[in-house]
Structure 1
């Protein structure tokens, strides 16, 4: 079934939302959340304050779309992975790819993420947005894992695998952001965290079924 292309209005709204989110992320990373106002973000994004509040309730909420885009990229890599891998192997592989600098994901984007996470350590509201995005990503990850497994699975084990993988990615990003390691190290750390957190889970230790 072909997904209908978004309308021009929808595409414009999405573009505006992403521009505001990027502007917020850049300001938070460079000067901290406490020193940044909603007016600053709106001005940097080239929109009115009224437009800003049409999309976001608070200034911290503005970075949520950018963070969610990163999660979606991880899920896309996971879905498109080789079928001969076990699910834990596919999780490890996709996490590494999602955080590896590439033309469409330059190292500067990871450095921007580092700045956001460092700013979040000094702003409870910004930290809450980061945690909320990861909670949502865990919910999104579970059905993807169920589809990849191709068999009936215990819902509890499904949640455990989703929680382990999601926590691995979150801890990896937070640990990398707190260090001075280069962008390339983020992928290695994410793969390691997911590998270690899923090692004790016996679920899906055989190759995934072919679609």
Structure 2
């Protein structure tokens, strides 16, 4: 059985590139004019595509920024997929999220800047906020099989689901908290630093990540 990861086709790569170009155009226009002052026609024009092409990829102007908002989750998941099963899962999660959210160069810092602007705009735009929540829900679902593999076949499915929910929430809260501040993209108060802190707070009591048997947890046993 072939277990090598599949690579995207040329068509898939072109599709992803077009989606990202439209997403960047939408984010730039939202920053300039706000979501209310931006139309799908404006976004298509800025991205250099026909309006019908825009609607081939996205249902609404707010939906268009989904590829930008999901980029960090995709990098995180790819790092976890590359990790060896059985390695300390808590440390693996922390390393992966810190790597996915760090900004080692201008390009990465720019990507985080897009996220900050979109999350600030989402506070005033329910449709944009719904896209952000949908991105996080999708990330949680796609994280499930990755965590199940890392934690091994004996892991309780309920605990795996709880871990995926907690890990996703940790990143979401970290990014939302950072977006409301003027903290830098690296160092204290950065997305990576906040996400690791949130992970430790939310997952510190989970048996899967502490190794404690059930009877040692509060509320269990005699």
TM-score, length of structure 2 as denominator length: 0.85
1:99-140 deviations in Å (ceiling 9; x for gaps): 101248521211111000000001000000000010010111
Q: For 1:105 and 1:148, how far apart are their aligned partners in 2?
A: 30
* Partners of 1:29 and 1:114 within 8 A in 2: no
Change (3 A) 1:155 1:69: same
* Partners of 1:149 and 1:204 within 8 A in 2: no
* Partners of 2:86 and 2:150 within 8 A in 1: no
Q: CA deviation at 1:84?
A: 7.2
Q: Please name the residue that 1:49 is paired with.
A: 51
Change (3 A) 1:202 1:182: same
| Aligned pairs (5 A) from 1:13-52 | 13-52=15-54
Q: Please name the residue that 2:128 is paired with.
A: 126
Give structure 1 stretches of 5+ with no counterpart: 207-211
Q: Please name the residue that 2:200 is paired with.
A: 195
* Partners of 1:29 and 1:118 within 8 A in 2: no
Q: Please name the residue that 1:75 is paired with.
A: 77
* Partners of 2:68 and 2:114 within 8 A in 1: no
Q: Please name the residue that 1:168 is paired with.
A: 170
TM-score, length of structure 1 as denominator length: 0.89
Higher RCO (CA 8 Å, separation ≥ 6 residues): 1
Q: For 2:7 and 2:170, how far apart are their aligned partners in 1?
A: 34
Greater alpha carbon shift after TM alignment, 83-92 vs 151-160: 83-92
User: Residue 142 of structure 1 is aligned with which of 137, 144, 151?
Assistant: 144
Q: For 2:32 and 2:83, how far apart are their aligned partners in 1?
A: 35
